[in-house]
Structure 1
Amino acid sequence: MYTYYMGIGSNLGDREGYLAFAVDQLCGVQGVANVEHSSWIETPPWGPVEQGPFLNGILKVQSSLEPLIMLETVLHVERLAGRQRDIHWGPRTLDLDIVWIEDGAGQCVEVHTPNLVVPHPYFWERQFVLEPLQEVYPTFSYEGESIGARLETLRVLES
């Protein structure tokens, strides 16, 4: 059994509806045992493309699905939500990113393929990922730094 922590976001249309749609879809996948989510937070867009604000959060998904099968699953859910991949870091109905994976013993599962890199290469730099991650995983740490300390560092850097 794996525990997946996934970033989820939307900045087009019924943002909250798209997030709820993703949760419902994942709950119905064979091999997914449980889906929990953080609170949704509104955040400015990340990246160079002019666009509206995002509604973001973190999903905690317990599943027997192997990482590349989970990736196929979340890409399918994005497509069902009308996700278009026309502009890199552009606006989207639904964005699902596998940020972190743990095995049944609570150990980090690393994945390095052309289509999936876990831990997500930018997650430790993004407040909009770490704030909801802290809500669902308050004891999380990475490379010896607690999530709380990392958020404080990012807040200082931002100000």
Structure 2
Amino acid sequence: MVTAYIAFGSNLSDRNKNIQDAILLLKTHPKIKVIKTSSIIETEPEGGLKQGKFLNGAVKIETDLSARQLLQALQDVENKLGRERAVKNGPRTIDLDIIFYNDQTINEPDLIIPHPRWSQRSFVKDPIQEICE
């Protein structure tokens, strides 16, 4: 089993429901065990696109999935909850990002761990710090 930290965010529709649904889907995955969930915070969008405020937080999990398999599982959850990727950094029903996967460093075109900007984003850093104990 490895420990991973997943950041989440939502700024479309019922943001809180989107987050709760995503966490429930993670909890019901046979190879993912949710250990701890952070508080949920409301944040302003970053990146210059005009869009609604986000709800953000993080979960600490244990899993037998490889980092690549975990990425696929997270994308499956995003897709089930209606995530569209038409606009880069655009509004989203749910966004799930692997921030840490044990102490591994992965640098592939579609998977970078640790997440490259996690420490520059308080909406990621603060929830991760809250659940790191």
Q: What's 2:109 paired with?
A: 114
Answer 1 or 2: higher relative contact order, Cα 8 Å, separation at least 6: 2
Distance 2:34 2:91 in 1: 29
CA deviation vs aligned residue, 1:42-81 (integer Å, no higher than 9, x gap): 0000111100100000111111111000000000000000
Size of the aligned set, in residue pairs, is 133
> What pairs with 1:116-155 in structure 2 (closer than 5 Å)?
116-137=111-132
Q: Quick check: which has more Rg, 1 or 2?
A: 1
> What pairs with 1:34-113 in structure 2 (closer than 5 Å)?
34-102=34-102, 108-113=103-108
Establish whether residue 25 from structure 1 lines up as the match of residue 30 from structure 2.
no
1:83 is paired with a residue whose SS is: coil
Identity %: 38
After TM superposition, the runs of 4+ consecutive aligned structure 1 residues lying more than 4 A away are none
CA deviation vs aligned residue, 1:112-140 (integer Å, no higher than 9, x gap): 122100000110110111111111015xx
The alpha carbon displacement at 1:111 in A equals 1.3
Unpaired stretches in structure 2, ≥5 consecutive residues = none
Distance 1:33 1:59 in 2: 10
Distance 1:96 1:34 in 2: 14
Q: Do the aligned partners of 1:5 and 1:99 also contact (CA within 8 Å) in 2?
A: yes
Distance 1:88 1:36 in 2: 29
Unpaired stretches in structure 1, ≥5 consecutive residues = 103-107, 139-159
The alpha carbon displacement at 1:34 in A equals 2.9
Q: Do the aligned partners of 1:27 and 1:35 also contact (CA within 8 Å) in 2?
A: no
Distance 2:3 2:46 in 1: 26
TM-score relative to the length of structure 1: 0.81
